[in-house]
Structure 1
C-alpha cells in the first residue's frame, strides 16, 4: 500500500480570500490601511507568523508588535475560517477515490494544527486523513523536513508521495527525500520550470495516475 501526504493552502483549498479578509480586519483594528488581495496571497506559504511579519513589513510596523498582531490575526481568522475558502475542483472525489483504493492519507501544512483540523471538519474531509501535522505540531515547520518525515512515519508506509503547490513544498519534499507532485494552480511564486518536482498537474483527476507512478505497489 501507499501513503499520499498533502499540503493544504493552495493545494487542497483556495484559502487566500479568507486569509486576506482576516489580515485586513487585523489591520483595520490597529488603524492601518488594507492590503490588496494579491499582496496577501503572495505572503502565504511559510506559516502564519511569517505571514504577519510580511504584513507588518509592508505597512512599516516595528517587529516588537508581532506577538500582539499574531493574536489579533488568529482571532479574526479562527472566527470565520471558511466563508470564502473553497476546495479546488475535483479534490473531494480524488481524495475519496485514493482512500477507497487503499491509500493512507496525511496532511502536512504550515497552517496551525487547530485551524487546519477545523477546516477539514467544515469540508467533511477530516474522516479521510489519518495524520495531520500542522505548523505548530512540531518545534519546526516546512521547509524543515521533520514535519513531512513525521507524517510519513506515522502513516507507516515506505511508498509515500508529497503533494503541494509551492517552493516551500518542493524544498521540503527534496529534503525529506520523498517524491513530489506539484499542483500548478496554487500559490507558487516562481515559474513551474524553476521548481524541483517529479510530476506536475493542474487537474486533480490526473493525480491518481501520478501517485501510482511515483509510488508503485508491487503486484
Structure 2
C-alpha cells in the first residue's frame, strides 16, 4: 500500500526561521534615524505575525507616534529599505532542513503561507535554501487577503493538489487561520506564540522539527483510517 501523502503548508517567521533579530534591527534603524526612542527585542518579537504594515503600526504606537496614515506609509517604506536585504541575523530553527528533506523524500508536496512581504520572503527562502522545497507560496502581496483570513492558506493548499492538507505554524494568527480554513493545525511551540497552548486551536503540537516527519506520518495514517 502506498503511504498517504499530505499537502503541507508552512508559516515562515517563527516557524521555519527566527527573523525577530532582523525585524528588531530594521525597526530600530528607522527609529534611530527619526530621533525616536528604540524598542526592545521583546517588543519587536511581540509585534510579529500580521505583516510589516501591522508591525510598523505597533512600533508607532509604542513610541507615541499615533496612527497618521501618511506617516505610517513613510515609515513603512523606510523599514522595508532596511529589511529587504540579506537576512544577516535571521536563523533557521533546529532541524528544519533535515525535516523538509525527509518530508520531500516521503512524497509530501509543500508550500508556504506567510504575511511577510513578497521580496523578503523570496530572499529568505533563497538564502536558506528552502525555495527548493516550496511548490507554492502565498506572501503578503499574493492576494488581497492576509492571514488570519483563510484565503491565502486555501490558495496554497489548492495549488499543492487535491487531497488532505496540514498547516504548520507557531502563532495565534496561524491557529486562527487554520481554524477558519477548516484545516488541521500542527503548532510549533518554540516560535512567537504568546497565548497558552490550551487556548489555541490545534490538532498537534511539536517542539522540534525532528518530530515533524513522524507527526505527519501519523496524521496521514489517521486520515486514511
TM-score by length of 1: 0.96
Looking at structure 2, the residues matched to 19 and 35 of structure 1 have their Cα atoms a distance apart, in angstroms, of: 11
Aligned residue for 1:138?
A: 143
The answer for unaligned runs of 5 or more in structure 2 is none
Looking at structure 1, the residues matched to 224 and 166 of structure 2 have their Cα atoms a distance apart, in angstroms, of: 16
Is residue 110–residue 134 contact of structure 1 (8 Å, CA) maintained in 2? Answer: yes
Mapping 1:44-55, distance limit 5 Å: 44-55=48-59
Query: What number of residue pairs does the alignment pair up?
Result: 218
Deviating above 4 A after TM superposition, structure 1's stretches of 4 or more consecutive aligned residues are none
Give the Å deviation of 1:67.
Answer: 0.3
Give the Å deviation of 1:213.
Answer: 2.4
1:212 has 2:213 as partner = no
Mapping 1:1-219, distance limit 5 Å: 1-64=5-68, 65-79=71-85, 81-216=86-221, 218=224
Is residue 113–residue 132 contact of structure 1 (8 Å, CA) maintained in 2? Answer: no
Looking at structure 2, the residues matched to 157 and 2 of structure 1 have their Cα atoms a distance apart, in angstroms, of: 10
TM-score by length of 2: 0.94
Give the Å deviation of 1:39.
Answer: 0.6
Looking at structure 1, the residues matched to 38 and 90 of structure 2 have their Cα atoms a distance apart, in angstroms, of: 19
Which whole-Å deviations, capped at 9, do the CAs of 1:114-134 have from their partners, x for residues lacking one? 111110000111111001100
Looking at structure 2, the residues matched to 213 and 113 of structure 1 have their Cα atoms a distance apart, in angstroms, of: 33
The answer for unaligned runs of 5 or more in structure 1 is none
Looking at structure 1, the residues matched to 183 and 67 of structure 2 have their Cα atoms a distance apart, in angstroms, of: 36
